[in-house]
């Protein structure tokens, strides 16, 4: 009798334990965006990645996002995702770094992925894209296309990622046109179509005939189009905003990475890491080359291919800084990744002083 009771108890226990697993609980995945999903740039692309997850694992995942989260007040939003059963959380802007780490320390069973940061933990991975590779290609195109030899650059904030982008762009331009000048206006925002557009207008008024941008809205591109000049899209293919003005765009394709990390979660194989992929792995893509002569298009394609295959490194040595001094070469024939990730100098020929 006792045995039977024991057995019954064990069975009941087993059934109780097995029940939730049998119900196939969906994996909840959360996203924190710095801008609105409708910015058609940075946050929009992350949201495309989120949608790709939903499409890749129908019925197995549930995704949530919080948009326009202020970086100075993001702890609560991140923690609320962790509290409400989200097991994998992507925080998609540099400013979320410390808040992500703080929340992650409290929720060891929730895995976090922080974009563009450098601090990691057992449950915090980091990832980013080698966007400067795309900027080098853009530089080559701009160097060929400019008639005034003045290129306008709308920057968000002088952080290393943006500075490295400016430098790569300049090196690309100089590789085909030694007389090219780059003028920079800091918008001091990632997303503010009004300010971004004004910055582009100021640059056009200074004689720039090509505009490139490291801010998230299509406004600078639209200003260039309205002025009959050329520009590059940012983060996503923005051709519909400037059918006659966009030369190409750097596309941040987060989708494969997000799908891969979700799969790792589902299979229980998720581990913290740092990933920094570029054109070769498809994390960074170039939109179709449009509104340019065939020879420029051919050159752009060749440059893209050379970077993909590793034949060309945008920061191949020697790299000269603004004073013409050679920058120490810490990588193999090129600047090392840590040097690029902490870049705080301009290369020779940039007509601006780095705000410090």
Partner 1 sequence: MRLELVPRTDVPGYARTLAPLGAIVAAILIGGLVVALLGRSPAAALDVYFVQPLSESWGLQELAVKMLPLVLIAVGLSFCFRANLWNIGAEGQFVAGAVAGAMVPLATHGMEAGPWVVVVALVLGTLGGALYALIPAFLRVTLGVSEILTSLMLVYVAQLGLDWLVRGPWRDPKGFNFPQTVVFEPGAQLPMLMEAGRLHAGAGLAVIAVLATWFIFSRTLFGFGIRVSGEAPKAARFAGFDANRLVLIAFAVSGGLAGLAGIVEVTGQIGQLKPSISPGYGFTAIIVAFLGRLHPVGILFGAFVISLTVIGGENAQILLKLPLDLTTVFQGVLLMCVLAADALVSNRVRIVRTARA
| Site residues for partner 1 per CB under 8 A | 30, 36, 64-68, 70-73, 75-77, 80-81, 83-84, 94-95, 98, 102, 106, 118, 157-160, 188, 338, 341-344, 355-356
Residue 181 CA to residue 203 CA, distance in Å, equals 12
Q: 223 vs 11, 148, 197, CA distance in Å?
A: 70, 18, 6
Q: Dihedral sign, CA of 101, 103, 104, 110?
A: negative
Smallest gap, in angstroms, from Cβ of residue 225 to partner 1? 27
Residue closer to partner 1, measured from CB, 181 or 214: 214
Residue closer to partner 1, measured from CB, 98 or 302: 98
Residue closer to partner 1, measured from CB, 40 or 229: 40
Smallest gap, in angstroms, from Cβ of residue 356 to partner 1? 5
Smallest gap, in angstroms, from Cβ of residue 330 to partner 1? 14
**3-state secondary structure labels for all residues of the chain:** CHHHHHHHHHHHHHHHHHHHHHCCCCEEEEEECCCCHHHCCHHHHHHHHHHHHHHHCCCCEEEEEECCCCHHHCHHHHHHHHHCCEEEEEECCHHHHHHHHHHHHHCCCCEEEEECCCCCECCEEEEEECHHHHHHHHHHHHHHHCCCCEEEEEECCCCHHHHHHHHHHHHHHHCCCCCCEEEEEECCCCCCHHHHHHHHHHHHHCCCCEEEEECCCCHHHHHHHHCCCEEEECCCCCHHHCCCCEEEEEEECCHHHHHHHHHHHHCCCCCCCEEEECCCCCCEEECCCCCCCHHHHHHHHHHHHHHHHCCCCCCECCCEECCCCECCCCCCCECCHHHHHCCCCCECCECCCCCC
Nearest Cα residue to 141 out of 250, 227, 64, 242 = 250
Residue closer to partner 1, measured from CB, 162 or 279: 162
Smallest gap, in angstroms, from Cβ of residue 48 to partner 1? 17
Q: 201 vs 42, 59, 205, 206, 224, CA distance in Å?
A: 22, 48, 6, 9, 8
Residue closer to partner 1, measured from CB, 30 or 41: 30
Residue closer to partner 1, measured from CB, 211 or 327: 327
Smallest gap, in angstroms, from Cβ of residue 43 to partner 1? 11
Residue closer to partner 1, measured from CB, 160 or 282: 160
Smallest gap, in angstroms, from Cβ of residue 132 to partner 1? 15
Residue closer to partner 1, measured from CB, 98 or 198: 98
Smallest gap, in angstroms, from Cβ of residue 107 to partner 1? 11
Residue closer to partner 1, measured from CB, 33 or 169: 33
Residue closer to partner 1, measured from CB, 302 or 337: 337
Residue 177 CA to residue 20 CA, distance in Å, equals 64
Smallest gap, in angstroms, from Cβ of residue 353 to partner 1? 13
Smallest gap, in angstroms, from Cβ of residue 339 to partner 1? 10
Smallest gap, in angstroms, from Cβ of residue 17 to partner 1? 27
């Amino acid at each position: 009798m006792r045995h039977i009771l024991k057995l019954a108890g064990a069975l009941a226990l087993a059934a109780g334990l097995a029940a939730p697993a049998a119900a196939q609980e969906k994996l909840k995945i959360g996203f924190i965006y710095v801008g609105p999903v409708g910015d058609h740039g940075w946050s929009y692309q992350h949201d495309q990645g989120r949608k790709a997850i939903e499409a890749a694992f129908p019925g197995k995942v549930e995704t949530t996002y919080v948009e326009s989260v202020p970086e100075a007040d993001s702890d609560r939003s991140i923690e609320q995702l962790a509290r409400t059963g989200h097991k994998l959380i992507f925080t998609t802007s540099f400013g979320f770094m410390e808040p992500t780490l703080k929340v992650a320390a409290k929720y060891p069973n929730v895995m976090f992925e922080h974009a563009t940061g450098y601090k990691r933990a057992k449950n915090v991975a980091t990832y980013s894209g080698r966007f400067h590779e795309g900027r080098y290609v853009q530089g080559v195109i701009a160097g060929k296309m400019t008639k005034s030899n003045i290129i306008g650059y709308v920057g968000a904030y002088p952080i290393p990622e943006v500075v490295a982008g400016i430098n790569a762009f300049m090196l690309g331009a100089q590789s085909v046109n030694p007389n090219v000048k780059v003028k920079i206006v800091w918008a001091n925002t990632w997303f503010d179509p009004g300010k971004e557009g004004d910055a582009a207008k100021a640059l056009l008024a200074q004689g720039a005939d090509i505009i490139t941008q490291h801010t998230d809205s299509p406004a600078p591109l639209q200003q260039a189009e309205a002025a009959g000049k050329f520009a590059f899209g940012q983060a996503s293919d923005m051709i519909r905003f400037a059918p006659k003005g966009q030369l190409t765009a750097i596309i941040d394709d987060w989708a494969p990475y997000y799908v891969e990390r979700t799969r790792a979660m589902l299979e229980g194989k998720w581990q913290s890491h740092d990933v920094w992929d570029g054109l070769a792995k498809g994390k960074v893509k170039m939109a179709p080359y449009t509104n340019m002569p065939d020879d420029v298009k051919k050159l752009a394609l060749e440059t893209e291919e050379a970077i993909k295959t590793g034949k060309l490194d945008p920061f191949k040595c020697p790299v000269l800084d603004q004073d013409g001094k050679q920058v120490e070469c810490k990588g193999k024939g090129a600047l090392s990744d840590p040097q690029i990730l902490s870049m705080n100098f301009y290369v020779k020929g940039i007509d601006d002083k780095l705000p410090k």
